[in-house]
Amino acid sequence: MSLRVLSLLSLGAGALALGAQVAMLRELIVALDGNEQGMGIGLATWLVGLALGALCGRLPSRERGESWLRVSYALMALSAPLGILWLRGLSGIFAAGAGEVSSLAQALLLAGLALAPAGAAVGFTFTLIAAFATTRVTIEERAVSRVYVVEALGFLLGGLVTSFVLTPYLPPLAGSVLLSASCLALALPVAPRSCALLAVGLALFAFLGAAASADRASLAWAFEKRLPGVHLVDARQSVYQLSALGGPAPFSLYLSGQYAGSFPDPTLHESMAHRLACLSPRPARVLSAGTLHLGTLRHLLKHPVQQVDLVELDRKAFRLVRDHLPAEDQQALEDERVGLHFGDLRTYLAEGEESYSLILLLMPPAETLLHARLGTVEFYRQVAHRLDRDGALVVSLPSPPNALEGEEADLAASVYRTLRELFPVVRAVPGADGFLVAGWDAERVSVDPELLAARYRARGIESTGFAAELFGLELPRDRSLAYEEALSERAAALEASRDARPASFLYGLSLRSRISGGRGGWWSARPRALVVSCVIPSLICLAWIALRRRRGRKTAIVHLTTVCGAGGMGWWLLLVFAYQVHAGALYGHMAVLSALFMVGLAGGGALFMGYADRFDLRAVSVLALLMSVLIPLSLGFAMTSSLASGTLIIAAGFVTGTVFPAAAGALASEGRTRREIASVLTCSDHFGAALASLLASCLLIPILGLPGTAWLIAVLVAVAILGLLVPKAPVRGRN
């Protein structure tokens, strides 16, 4: 097989691998109600499948390898479309239903059944391509380096097309079919005799016309299986999330699987509007983010409001709701006092200077990083800059109707503690529609029902569905005071939520874990035990190397490879979570963020192969240590700049990519065979990456935060390097 054919197949394989991985990771996140932990869980199972596929890829003989390559390439092309359909079918059967939370076991089952087979197809195909490249003995180094570089270009091309073309404009299944068909079209001219490629290519192109309908049908099936009695009305995908509307009326809005609100509900929305408006003594200028447009807005406009700015993150989700709103609510959106602003709320706050007398943050609980990023000290500092001195900030915070305890109490108290970092006055109202009110002036920021009723009467609002006397029933003074006192007492023992460690996100995950029967809350209360548990295996390995110096060299090399594989995956997760804090568009830009890491990974591997005579494993390990120190020191930049995030992701991939070939050279110098080296290092590298993907997303990042997790990785890399520094015992001569 010529180098030109291998290059074109490598280009298409890179794009196919990235497209399949990202498509199924997104579906898994939606199946887990928008929880970004699904990305780490899915990557762990993907990497396990990748390692198994790579091992199997060494089995076919050279004579039959070309036929196997064509078949595996065809399977890769099918993995994304079939993976989406398969995962939706599985989620309808295994994922949690309405009012429930998927456990870690359910998430692993979904990911293992869907992503592991696709990962195996990718590992099998890449191994065959590399095997054909290495058979070209006379130009082996140049051939392998070229394959690496072309694969990286395929990853980059697939990432750019997926993030900026397919995701914004096509449904998930239609986008994956188009990408797969295009990559097959690229391969057909260089493999014209492949019946497998031709058959799959024709099938994908024939299916293109029905892909959108199949996407809608499969999504509706999974939606209705998880929510019996609720039918999918419409769904739209954007770079932020997958928005779905269930019906019939009243409609329910789900954002990447997480419940966001229902409409129309005239009684609830009118009551809520008057309560919110009366929290400010003069609500002349109002800023709102969240669910105000679901039905509350038209009642809010009855108050003396001069301007209402609605900041909506997702234009497609907003249009989905607007198309199904009652006529009077659509008219409210067209009121001349209402301004619509599409984009990130953090960006909107940072770019403007106009102050507001009432700011409403009516968003779901911080059970996902997408929402937790709008509940940190850094975010509330931006809000405080735009709030009038006599204004009020309202943060929705549902709570149990009775006693507040356990994870619910920690989540609520964490939000309360974070607000107290910026605002001297914070009031609390319990209940399913509960909220916190923050501001500067204790006399003006109040939830006293008599004061709110007086404000309502003074405005002369006429309503047949609400009266001033209802304030006393909906906001009982004694309950509010007791609730506020309980939050204040509990918050004293908690930390404020910050961008680097969103504590509210941690408590939200602990609540999910407790509901699903998991033990995540046990670890969250014992962060030191978690750190020790991660370091002990490396220390045991180091002791083994020191005691068995004659045979410990191989162990030291494999240990370093495992740790650096884990470190590379950990770095990537840290940086993409930092990007989510900054941009909030991880769902749509996951593909290009993955592609940047793979570009760095392939570049590091290819560059080392070209200069292997100048560097050894110790030099590469020092580079890894420097990177492990640079990451925690640079996280602040990554959480504020997309350019910094992208640059660090490429650098992390580059450093990770140099370790594997350096370790292979070190093992070869120890007399190990080529087959043994490939098998051992592939398993250790992928095992480390899979373990890090699972632990970092589910435990380390939520509990230790971004900097804490980054420093833990630095410690593990340092311990692994110490193993290389242990001198090898001299070989004793025979008497």
* 271 vs 321: CA distance, rounded Å: 21
Rg, the chain, Cα only: 28
| 689 alpha-carbon distance from chain centroid | 17
Give the model's pLDDT for residue 735: 41
CA dihedral 325, 331, 332, 338 (to 10 degrees): 120
pLDDT at 368: 85
Q: Give the per-residue pLDDT at 98.
A: 63
pLDDT of residue 608: 76
pLDDT-flagged residues of the chain (< 50): 136-141, 734-735
**pLDDT reported for residue 134:** 62
Q: What is the pLDDT of residue 254?
A: 92
Tokens of 348: 């909107």
Between the alpha carbon of residue 280 and those of residues 295, 415, 419, the distances in Å are 20, 21, 17
* 112-115: long-range pairs with CB below 8 Å, 24+: 112/45, 112/48, 113/86, 114/24, 114/27, 114/28, 114/83, 114/86, 114/87, 114/90, 115/21, 115/24, 115/25, 115/28, 115/42, 115/43, 115/45, 115/46, 115/49, 115/83
Q: What's the CA gap between 96 and 85, in Å, rounded? A: 18
Neighbours of 498 (CB within 10 A): 18
Sign of the dihedral through C-alpha 561, 563, 564, 568: positive
Q: Are 159 and 594 in contact (CB under 8 A)?
A: yes
- pLDDT value for 131: 74
Q: Check the CA dihedral 158-159-165-170 and report its sign.
A: positive
DSSP secondary structure letters along 413-446: HHHHHHHHTT-SEEEEE-STT-EEEEES-TTTS-
